[in-house]
Structure 1
């Protein structure tokens, strides 16, 4: 359900750098990103560990200040004053990967969910709002969970408590960082169904950070594939996952059931302090290694020419010399 409304959350030319070790080159964790999330839309941010997706998510939430670029909410750039950030974090909530680490083992479920209300000075009708949040998160009857502690709950129930803690403030957007990675396969579907139901019933927007393209297929309206600090392909989920243009996306998809012959990428992602010249994926690219870039006449560009940062919006785009050459040929034939 992709919305045609103006973006609720938007990143424009976003960069985040961290100091290098012993005075070395800085690590470019986010190296030029344009990304939009519209009301009622679920966007999946996909990539390997270390690609920068969690840093991007934290920056979108105001937890990390960008080195350059702008994060805007409802069209207004984020202000990093304490009061403004507190107000923004009421609207934009984080759901973390590990519910056991997110919940204080000494706090009851009631206190864990009520914490946000107390921080923001909204303790009026606290009991009613906590009960409503737990109920919306699928813990019913909610009163039965009030006095329980995290260790008394299953993994799926703990994740529902974390989601209830986000819902209690009636946010407009949720950033979920690997929301089902630590759960059993039997519980993952329940949590994904819950997120979809919350989107449909409450109009929530969500950015779901994951390494799992299968999860994206089940939940997202759009997908943004991230590699070494940049989004290298983006577009509607059906198009990206059935006809991916970027070799990296193709490799990620190949490991899924019915994904075809698995693509084994050589080596590890490069160090973000030493991003290679040319296409940042070329040192691992199966298309370049297999000679297809030579056939397309762009092998030299792959090795030496950087690609432009992909624009935001809802259209399909890929930062790949081969894909762009093929698209140009197809356009000329048409």
Structure 2
């Protein structure tokens, strides 16, 4: 998979928003490289406010980057309206809350057919809608055509949202917290559906989530984001069985199946308009607070020395002075 040309890439991507009342601009996405290859599922993981949703919206063309670029199929994304319309047929968004993303006055048929109508689909609309519903696991599809969202369960509504994305036969979907609002029993069904779509259709996916457990169940690769930048990335098995970054270790420690002592991070993530010097995680880092970084001789670097931007490919990488020092010591 690592030798395959990326389907979607972010290169040195930055998204800043104007500060309030003359404050410095907020660096929501701050120099991110990220590749997604054909048939690959990448999980973008981090706390609320870390910039992962802004990054996803920028990859969709909804938020133009302040600098850097997004490429799709090797070509830079064109932000002209006609080009974006064509692009969004190939890259579709699946939202977190199916109740909020479905119009309560539209039937299931109209909800799924909406994308076809926007893009001027010339084929058999009924056949396309039925096919999308069927692929999303709503069978027989005709039984759902005239139902309204309030007549469906939460899992069925999420399947309708997924069918609305699939009906345009995209190459990639961006799923923002796709199972966050669902019961535990239904979450597994939706995750299994996404995996089946990847296997049957060759669909790629970027799954945005705060839940490392979800990443473990669905992703080929994980990118951990903190304060606008990816701080650790690699194959999901490597990152989740041997996390190197203290932030990843803290996120993983709260999963019941981890067996580790939960790490409680102090404070809130810093304001993205005031990114700290050195490692952007150092003010909350349990390794620095415990004196481990001092003993490794990197405490001053943690506080003052900036870390390099991680490459967007599939290799395992970490942006952490202490983890790099520990790896050198082991070698």
TM-score bin, normalised by smaller chain: over 0.9
**Conservation of the 8 A alpha-carbon contact between 1:232 and 1:246:** yes
Find the counterpart in structure 2 of residue 304 from structure 1.
304
Find the counterpart in structure 2 of residue 8 from structure 1.
7
The answer to whether residue 113 in structure 2 is matched with residue 114 in structure 1 is: yes
Distance 2:282 2:115 in 1: 45
Unaligned runs of at least 5 residues, structure 2: none
Distance 1:70 1:268 in 2: 30
Distance 2:296 2:311 in 1: 24
Correspondences of 1:1-334 after superposition (within 5 Å): 2=1, 4-259=3-258, 260-331=260-331
TM-score (norm 1): 0.98
Alignment partner of 1:187: what SS? helix
- How far the C-alpha of 1:276 sits from its partner, in A, is 0.7
**Conservation of the 8 A alpha-carbon contact between 2:38 and 2:204:** yes
Alignment partner of 2:279: what SS? coil
Distance 1:13 1:325 in 2: 26
**What's the CA shift string for 1:100-124, capped at 9, x where partnerless?**
0110000000000000000000042
Distance 1:6 1:112 in 2: 34
- How far the C-alpha of 1:5 sits from its partner, in A, is 1.5
- How far the C-alpha of 1:328 sits from its partner, in A, is 2.1
- How far the C-alpha of 1:156 sits from its partner, in A, is 0.3
Classify 1:148/1:3 alpha carbon distance in 2 versus 1 (closer, same or farther; 3 Å): farther
Distance 2:285 2:122 in 1: 54
**Conservation of the 8 A alpha-carbon contact between 1:29 and 1:272:** yes
- How far the C-alpha of 1:4 sits from its partner, in A, is 3.6
Alignment partner of 2:198: what SS? helix
Distance 2:328 2:265 in 1: 27
- How far the C-alpha of 1:326 sits from its partner, in A, is 1.5
Alignment partner of 2:31: what SS? strand
- How far the C-alpha of 1:330 sits from its partner, in A, is 2.7
- How far the C-alpha of 1:327 sits from its partner, in A, is 1.8
**What's the CA shift string for 1:198-220, capped at 9, x where partnerless?**
00000000000000000000000
- How far the C-alpha of 1:312 sits from its partner, in A, is 1.2
**What's the CA shift string for 1:175-209, capped at 9, x where partnerless?**
00000000011100000000000000000000000
Distance 2:298 2:311 in 1: 22
- How far the C-alpha of 1:3 sits from its partner, in A, is 5.9
Alignment partner of 1:283: what SS? helix
**Conservation of the 8 A alpha-carbon contact between 2:2 and 2:314:** no
**What's the CA shift string for 1:28-60, capped at 9, x where partnerless?**
000010000000000000000000000000000
Unaligned runs of at least 5 residues, structure 1: none
